[in-house]
Amino acid sequence: MISDKPFQLTATPDNDGYRLDKLLAQALPELSRVRVQDLIRDGHCEVSRAGRVSIIKESSWRVKRQDHIRLQMPPPRDSHIEAQSLPLDIIYEDEALIVLNKPAGLVVHPAAGNPDHTLVNALLAHCGDALSGIGGERRPGIVHRLDKDTSGVMVAAKTDAAHQGLQDQFAAHGRDGKLQRIYHAFVWGQLRPPTGVVDAPLARAPNNRRKISVSKPENKAARSALTHYKQMGVYRGGRVSRLACTLETGRTHQIRVHLAHIGHPLLGDPLYGSGMKNQIVHLTPPQAGALQDLSRQALHAFALGFEHPISGETLYFENPLPSDMAHLATLLETEK
């Protein structure tokens, strides 16, 4: 309902006694209930009852039959984040969303250590007026993130409706059959068995705020995390393996922490794999050089599938390994 015209409805016997926010959220599925509550609180909803018009600012206000409800959507606020023209590798784009390949080294969202030149800055410049407002602000809707030094496929929403629909799918993490995410990784060692699941809760490491660590379930700060892995190749007599990983949850650094937890950290991971640096002696000189040139964790978001939040169409995108990881893969496969 992103429009200059107000949304209007008249309450019926079927919704007599409903909370105002519940009724509007049901009538406007493109808006989250939180967004509806914000609009009510900010004075954008008026109700006419028995000829008397009142601005209602309480989400819990109870509707009665024959109430005439009018919700005016304000124009989206300009984002406080600066739009910056940066190169984007766009895989797919329509009026609701954009799918792209994030290169290693690009931060997704501005933060204290990276205030600009992020993916969000670039999307603001690229999408411009096509952004109809996420939560009332003209900005792209980020529903998932990749670490700065992880490359691969990402999707971002351009409208509130798309943002809400994608958020629901990512919150379900594929349990509803709509979302599919596949990561390719190179790790130290050979996994036995070659397929499995890492089920270990994660929390912020108590002695290093930059790190995430496996935690005891009774830790109230810990969040459940499940990673499925499948071995796709074994190299150098079992010194290195290539894995495909899928997620049932989407925690910060999840794949990196889980694989390090079971003794198979990612090649090149400076945060969770530093204890395996001496393993580079088991690689050929060209392989070792390719790993040093990689200068990041060997992790790539290879595939992303989801249901289009507006059309309902099933979309699926694959993106091959970037050149740095592809070079390492070729040398591992050809230099026995």
HEC profile of 89-141? EEEEECCCEEEEEECCCCCCCCECCECCCCHHHHHHHHHHHHCCCECCEECCE
Among 132-136, 174-178, 193-197, 324-328, the minimum mean pLDDT is found in 132-136
- In this prediction, residue 201 carries a pLDDT of 94
CATH assignment of the domain containing 242: 3.30.2350.10
- In this prediction, residue 76 carries a pLDDT of 74
Residue 310: inside a domain: no
* pLDDT averaged over every residue in the chain: 91
Per-residue pLDDT tens for 201-212?
999 998 888 899
Q: Which of 140, 172, 204 is the last residue of a domain?
A: 172
**CA atoms of 23 and 31, how far apart (whole Å):** 12
Q: Catalytic amino acids?
A: 147
φ/ψ (deg, to 5) at 9: -155, 160
**CA atoms of 89 and 255, how far apart (whole Å):** 24
Taking a C-beta distance cutoff of 8 angstroms, is the pair 31, 164 a contact?
yes
- In this prediction, residue 263 carries a pLDDT of 96
Q: Does residue 1 have a pLDDT over 50?
A: no
Tell me the percentage of the chain whose pLDDT exceeds 70: 98
Q: Tell me: do 118 and 186 sit in the same domain.
A: no
Residue 109: inside a domain: yes
- In this prediction, residue 193 carries a pLDDT of 94
Q: Does residue 2 have a pLDDT over 60?
A: no
Domains in the chain, number: 3
φ/ψ (deg, to 5) at 131: -80, 110
Q: Tell me: do 96 and 40 sit in the same domain.
A: no
- In this prediction, residue 29 carries a pLDDT of 79
From first CA to last CA, the distance across the chain in angstroms is: 60
Domain coverage including residue 248: 182-303+317-334
- Give residue 160's pLDDT band: very low, low, confident or very high (50, 70, 90): confident
Per-residue pLDDT tens for 75-94?
777 778 888 999 999 999 99
- In this prediction, residue 139 carries a pLDDT of 80
Helix ranges (H only) for the chain are 20-27, 33-41, 119-127, 160-172, 254-261, 285-294, 323-334
- Give residue 4's pLDDT band: very low, low, confident or very high (50, 70, 90): low
Mean pLDDT across 41-54: 91
CA contacts within 13 A on the Cβ side of 7: 20
CA R_g for the chain: 24
Q: Tell me: do 324 and 221 sit in the same domain.
A: yes
Q: Which residue has the higher pLDDT, 129 or 258?
A: 258
**CA atoms of 133 and 335, how far apart (whole Å):** 52
Strands 151-157 and 299-307: parallel
Q: What is the reported pTM? A: 0.84
Quote the crossing angle between the two packed helices 285-294 and 323-334, to the nearest 10°: 160
Mean pLDDT across 236-249: 94
Classify the C-alpha dihedral 30-33-39-45 as positive or negative.
Answer: positive
Taking a C-beta distance cutoff of 8 angstroms, is the pair 45, 56 a contact?
yes
Among 68-82, 231-245, 282-296, the minimum mean pLDDT is found in 68-82
